[in-house]
Amino acid sequence: MPSVGEILDGKQICICAGSGGVGKTTTSAAIAAGMAARGLRVCVLTIDPAKRLADSLGLKELGNEARQVDPALFAEQGVEIKGELWAMMLDAKATFDELVARQAPDEEARDRVLGNRIYQQISSALAGSQEYMAMEKLFELHTEDRFDLLVLDTPPTRNALDFLDAPKRLTQFIEGRSLRVFMKPTGFAAKVAGRGASVALSVFKRIVGFDLIADLAEFFNAFSGMVDGFQARARRVNSLLADRRTCFLVVCGPQGEPVDEAVYFHRKLVEAKLPFGGVIVNKVHYPAERLRGDGADLPAALAERLGDDLGSRVCENFADYQALAERDTRNIDRLAAELRTQAVIRVPYLDEDVHDLAGLAEINRYLFASAEQREARAAGRA
C-alpha cells in the first residue's frame, strides 16, 4: 500500500479529481504542503477554497498569481517545509484574458477582443465553468518550469468528468459552425452589418443599447486569427494530461454512491489513457477496535460513570458509529477490488472542518503515513 509521497515520486503534476464536496480542495492543499515538506518546490492551484483555508494559506485576496506560504506558519505546527509551498486561487476570467492576450497576433487585435462586449459575456460564461481555465493555468505554469510539482484542485462539477472534456469543448466552440458563419467575411454578420440602416436593426440597437451585430462581427473576426493558436494549445494541454509525469488522484467519500462515482471516474481515466495514481477516500469512519475490546462490559461501565440514561445513549451512539465504520470498510474493500489497485488511501472524518495549517498537517499524517502506520490505524490500533 503506497503513500501519497510514493505515488507522486517523480511526478510533476498531480490532479485531484472527484465529485462535489468530497474534499478535493482540502486534499490538494494538504498534498502540496506534504510534498513541500519533503523538499520540493510545490504550487497548489486551488479553486474556491473556503475563506478560512485561503486565509490560512495567506491567500487573502483573489489573484491569478502564485504566492509563497510563509514556512514559519508551518513551523508553528511542527512541520518543517524543506522546499517551498506556493498557492494560488484560480481566477478563471483573468486566465482567459491572459490567454487571449497571448494568442492575439498584435496589440490591436488583443484590445479589440478584450474590449468587446460579446467577448466579455462569453468569457464570463466560459470562465464560469472554470474547467478549461484550470487546465490552461496548469499548462502555463508547467511551461514556466518554476516548480517541481503542481497540484491542481478541480472545480465542483456535477459530473467529475466534465473537466476532462474542457479543452475539447473550447475548441469545438471555436470551430463550431455558428462561429464559422460569423467569421467569413461574406458571412451572415457581414451581410447583416452591411444592412446597418435597416429599421429592425436600429430599433434593436436602441433596445439593447449597443450595436450587437457590429460587436458580434468584430468579435468573431478578431477571434478568427486565434483559432489555430487555441487548437494547438488545447492539443498540448491534452498531451500534458496524458504524460507519464502527470498523476490523477481520485478523491471520494466512503459511502456507496461516492464509491460508485469513483469507480466510474477511474474507468473513464483508463479509457482516456490518462495516468491514474490512486484513490483517496476521505472522511472515513475508522473502527474503534480498542473500545470494542471492552465488549460486554462497556454498557455497565458507561452507566456507572454517566448514569443510566446518558450511558445508554452514549452506548447507542457508539454502536451507530461502529456500524458506519463497518459500512465504510466494506465500501472501501469493494472499491479496491473493483479498481484492482492497492493505492487506496484513507483519511478519517476529523472532528472539525479542515480550515487551517494544523488541519492540513493532521490530514497529512494519513496521506503520507507508511503502510504499517496506515494498517495499524485502519484496524483501530493507533
- The residues that touch ligand ATP, with contacts defined as CB under 6 A, are 20-26, 48, 50, 156, 282-283, 347, 349-350, 353-355
Binding partner selected for residue 50 from ligand ATP, Mg ion, none, CB under the kind-specific 5 to 8 Å limit: ligand ATP
Binding segment for Mg ion (CB under 5 A), chosen from 21-29, 164-172, 259-267, 345-353, is: 21-29
- Is residue 182 a contact partner of residue 220, using CB atoms and an 8 Å limit? yes
Are 260 and 19 a contacting pair, CB within 8 Å?
Answer: no
Nearer to ligand ATP, 104 or 135 (CB): 135
| CA–CA gap between residue 103 and residue 108 (Å, rounded) | 12
In the complex with Mg ion, which residue's Cβ is closer, 24 or 374? 24
Decide which of ligand ATP, Mg ion, none touches 164; Cβ closer than 5 to 8 Å per partner kind: none
Q: Choosing among Mg ion, ligand ATP, none, which partner's interface includes residue 188 (Cβ < 5 to 8 Å by kind)? A: none
Going by the DSSP 8-state scheme, the letter that residue 262 receives in this structure is: H
Residue 16's closest CA among 57, 52, 40, 45?
45
Contacts of 309 (CB under 8 A, 6+ apart): none
Q: Which does 22 bind (CB under 5 to 8 A by kind): Mg ion, ligand ATP, none?
A: ligand ATP
Residue 355 contact partner, candidates Mg ion, ligand ATP, none, CB within 5 to 8 A by sort of partner:
ligand ATP
Q: Least CB distance from residue 75 to ligand ATP, whole Å?
A: 23
C-alpha 64: how far from chain center: 16
- Alpha-carbon dihedral 298, 349, 1, 266, rounded to 10 degrees: 130
Part in contact with Mg ion (CB under 5 A); list of ranges 17-25, 244-252, 253-261, 360-368: 17-25
Compute the least distance from the CB of residue 208 to ligand ATP, in Å: 35
**Nearer Cβ to Mg ion (25/246):** 25
Neighbours of 145 (CB within 10 A): 8
Query: Could you say which of ligand ATP, Mg ion, none residue 26 binds, taking C-beta under 5 to 8 angstroms by partner kind?
Result: ligand ATP
Alpha carbon of residue 224 to chain centroid: 31
CB of 163 to Mg ion, least distance (A): 12
Residue 349 CB, nearest approach to Mg ion (Å):
17
- Nearest approach in angstroms of CB 48 to Mg ion is 6
What is the enclosing helix (H) or strand (E) of 210? none
Helix axes 297-306, 308-339, angle to 10 degrees: 140
Nearer to ligand ATP, 70 or 356 (CB): 356
Of the candidates 43, 48, 247, 63, the one whose C-alpha atom is nearest the C-alpha of residue 151 is: 43
Q: Which of 356, 380, 208, 220 is nearest to 292 (CA)?
A: 380
CB of 51 to ligand ATP, least distance (A): 11
Locate all alpha helices (DSSP H) within the chain, ordered by sequence. 4-7, 24-37, 51-56, 71-75, 92-103, 107-114, 117-129, 131-144, 166-175, 177-183, 188-194, 199-208, 212-224, 227-242, 256-271, 289-292, 297-306, 308-339, 357-367, 371-378
Which residue's C-beta sits nearest to ligand ATP?
Answer: 156
Give 50 or 101: the residue with its C-beta nearer to ligand ATP.
50
Residue 25 is a binding residue for Mg ion (CB under 5 A): yes
Question: Given the complex with ligand ATP, which of 54 and 217 has the nearer CB atom?
Answer: 54
Question: Smaller CB distance to Mg ion: residue 22 or 263?
Answer: 22
For Mg ion, the binding residues (CB under 5 A) are: 24-25
